[in-house]
């Protein structure tokens, strides 16, 4: 990894060095653009909340530490449920690195969301014993359920057949792209009525989930940015938090 800010060694040339007054003028101009984006994001968030709902009648059977349960039971007495689709296939030995970094941050958000009428948890296709073993290794407390043996992952657009992947069929992210793997990530949101009816209200995939990657928020604001141009793929630098400094 390049650790120098020398303009001769970075991928992009270093910006000019100017006076404080010149910097403030440039920063105020950028602030105006940032405010435009903030207002657009606020409007988009309101439009997102106005999406129609889909009532779910399919009886998904999900495995939890307390035994088999239904999607409705996962709300834990709240009216809103957010499920992060953590990439962990049935035959995998450990979870996805990117999903793990996101979970490092989500883990401490559970209690805060619970006080805003939101239950947050993870769901993966790996058997429960594998999920629990990895959870202990990562020292997470966020609830994690197994969708193994159910249609849940396929129905909510995060698991695909080998044929879909090899044929590069545009079945991922609402038909906008081919799946990059049999297991993909995303976030799905559900609502529950007082009568127990469950509704699917929202799902997002691909870069739609990027706001969950807090390190990117910081990297997008430091001089070198994400600094991924020379890597084999974006985030090739990423490790599980207990694997930094260890050989691959």
Query: In 121-219, which ranges are continuous DSSP H helix?
Result: 128-138, 152-155, 162-166, 214-219
Residues 24 and 39 placed together within one structural domain of the fold: yes
Residues 44 and 61 placed together within one structural domain of the fold: no
Cα separation, 117 vs 165, in Å, equals 37
Residues 82 and 41 placed together within one structural domain of the fold: no
Instruction: Quick: pLDDT tens for 154-196.
Output: 999 999 999 999 999 999 999 999 999 999 999 999 999 999 9
Residues 190 and 137 placed together within one structural domain of the fold: yes
Residues 31 and 152 placed together within one structural domain of the fold: no
Residues 79 and 150 placed together within one structural domain of the fold: yes
- What confidence score (pLDDT) does residue 245 get? 87
Mean pLDDT within 211-229 = 95
Instruction: Quick: pLDDT tens for 111-140.
Output: 999 999 999 999 999 999 999 999 999 999
Residues 89 and 184 placed together within one structural domain of the fold: yes
Residues 97 and 159 placed together within one structural domain of the fold: yes
Instruction: Quick: pLDDT tens for 100-111.
Output: 999 999 999 999
Query: Is residue 76 in a domain?
Result: yes
Query: Is residue 89 in a domain?
Result: yes
Cα separation, 19 vs 23, in Å, equals 6
Specify the number of domains making up the chain.
2
Query: Is residue 204 in a domain?
Result: yes
**Mean of all residue pLDDT scores within the chain:** 94
- What confidence score (pLDDT) does residue 247 get? 74
What whole-number percentage of the chain has pLDDT above 90? 92
CA-CA-CA-CA dihedral for 144, 85, 225, 32, to nearest 10: -110
Query: Is residue 244 in a domain?
Result: no
Instruction: Quick: pLDDT tens for 2-27.
Output: 555 654 455 678 899 999 999 999 99
Residues 37 and 160 placed together within one structural domain of the fold: no
Residues 34 and 145 placed together within one structural domain of the fold: no
Torsion sign (Cα): 100, 104, 108, 113: negative
Contacts 24+ apart (CB under 8 A), 193-198: 193/79, 196/72, 197/55, 198/55, 198/56, 198/71, 198/72, 198/75
- What confidence score (pLDDT) does residue 11 get? 62
Domain that includes residue 70, residue range: 53-212
Answer whether 57's CB lies under 8 Å from 72's CB: no
- What confidence score (pLDDT) does residue 4 get? 59
- What confidence score (pLDDT) does residue 19 get? 98
Residues 44 and 58 placed together within one structural domain of the fold: no
Residues 24 and 111 placed together within one structural domain of the fold: no
Helix or strand run (H / E) with residue 63: strand 62-64
């Amino acid at each position: 990894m390049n650790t120098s800010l020398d303009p001769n060694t970075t991928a992009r040339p270093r910006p000019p060095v100017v006076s404080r007054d010149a910097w403030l003028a440039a920063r105020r101009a950028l602030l105006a653009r940032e405010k435009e984006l903030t207002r657009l994001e606020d409007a988009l968030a309101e439009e997102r909340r106005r999406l129609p709902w889909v009532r779910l009648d399919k009886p998904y059977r999900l495995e939890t530490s307390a035994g088999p349960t239904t999607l409705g039971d996962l709300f834990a007495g709240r009216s809103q449920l957010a499920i992060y689709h953590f990439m962990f296939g049935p035959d995998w030995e450990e979870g996805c690195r990117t999903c793990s970094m996101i979970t490092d941050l989500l883990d401490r958000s559970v209690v805060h969301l619970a006080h805003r009428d939101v239950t947050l948890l993870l769901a993966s296709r790996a058997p429960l014993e594998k999920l629990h073993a990895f959870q202990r290794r990562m020292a997470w407390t966020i609830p994690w359920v197994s969708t193994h043996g159910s249609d849940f992952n396929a129905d909510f657009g995060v698991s695909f057949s080998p044929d879909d992947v090899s044929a590069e069929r545009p079945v991922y992210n609402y038909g906008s792209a081919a799946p990059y793997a049999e297991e993909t990530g995303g976030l799905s949101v559900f609502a529950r009525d007082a009568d127990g009816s469950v509704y699917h209200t929202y799902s997002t995939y691909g870069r739609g989930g990027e706001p969950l990657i807090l390190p990117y928020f910081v990297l997008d604001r430091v001089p070198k940015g994400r600094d991924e141009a020379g890597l084999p793929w974006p985030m090739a630098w990423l490790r599980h938090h207990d694997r930094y400094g260890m050989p691959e």
